[in-house]
Chain A
């Protein structure tokens, strides 16, 4: 496991300030999706804010060889995972945890936890987007991409197009969720 990076507040601030538009756009989109994953318990802004705070407090270790963007995504994922999958998150404030960027994910938890996508369903149902609803149905049955293609007789490009549509909508809904919580 690589050792954690040693940095001060000024260096961390400079690293964030140096992020380009693409990295910042990815971070924002990821935060919106993970906010949806928390079922509204945390907004995208809260996730971004908390990821920075934990990095500076040292409860989220920044590993050597990991970009600041990837480090923050890891922190956001970890926060969202806690908020969506643990009793602690349901009953009170986020559990304090010390992790680093190379800590493996809890595969069992990822399998067990279910994400509420009712808002996505409603959005596509209201627009009669049958393809998107069917893909969401398949996802709900825990099928992977290959199984969904076979089941709906879609080619790779067609499924990717639908998945993009679903993802973009989720990013947009994630944004509106954040505006509601401000």
Chain B
């Protein structure tokens, strides 16, 4: 049975730092002495590094897709009681936007031509505002 033997990390690191400075010829010799081929080791290492990048990217895309799905599900589940008439819905929409503008939210510039929006677009926009908690249902924006 072998008893445990230790050397200091400093000495071990010194051994590693010698490797970091090796030329292509020297590193090739190191592998040759170990019965390995540098080109094969390099190809395997490159494949491993690139696979790590691809795996990371795949995980990120999956996370983003999952986040988007959750948001869509949340949007589709949102139950909002909207006014029953078109005129009242447009009034609620306009009031909510006025409140947003008053709060300094500049992202509503695209809604300046409100009269050009279809009734369906108004309903969709109201649902989005409701999800964002930005519906001025109690007339506070007036």
A interface with B by C-beta (< 8 Å)? 9, 12-13, 16-17, 19-22, 24-30, 33-34, 37, 45, 48-49, 52-53, 56-57, 70, 72-73, 77, 81, 84-85, 109-118, 120-122, 125, 136, 139-140, 142, 144-145, 163-164, 166-168, 170-172, 175
Contact = CB atoms under 8 A, between A and B. Distances in A.
Nearest to A125: B2
Chain B contact patch, size range: 35 or more
Among A24, A30, A166, find the residue whose CB has the most chain B CB atoms closer than 10 A. A24
A32 to B, nearest CB: 10
Given A49-B55, A110-B10, A114-B6, 13 more contacts: A13-B50, A22-B28, A25-B42, A26-B22, A29-B19, A29-B31, A37-B9, A37-B13, A56-B56, A115-B9, A117-B6, A144-B11, A167-B15
Contacts, number: 161
A171 B34 contact: yes
Nearest to B39: A21
Chain A facing B: main interface SS: helix
7 contacts: A28-B45, A29-B27, A29-B31, A53-B52, A142-B11, A166-B15, A171-B19
A122 B4 CA distance: 10
B7 A117 contact: yes
Interface in B1-57: 2-16, 18-20, 22-24, 27-28, 30-31, 33-34, 36, 38-39, 41-46, 48-50, 52-57
B34 A172 contact: yes
Contacts of A113: 8-9
Contacts of A110: 8-10, 13
A167 B18 contact: yes
Contacts of B42: 20-22, 24-25, 28
A111 B11 CA distance: 9
B10 A111 contact: yes
Nearest to B26: A22
A28 B4 contact: no
A91 B35 CA distance: 37
Contacts of A116: 4-6
A38 B65 CA distance: 36
A16 B56 CA distance: 14
Contact of A49 (B9, B24, B48): B48
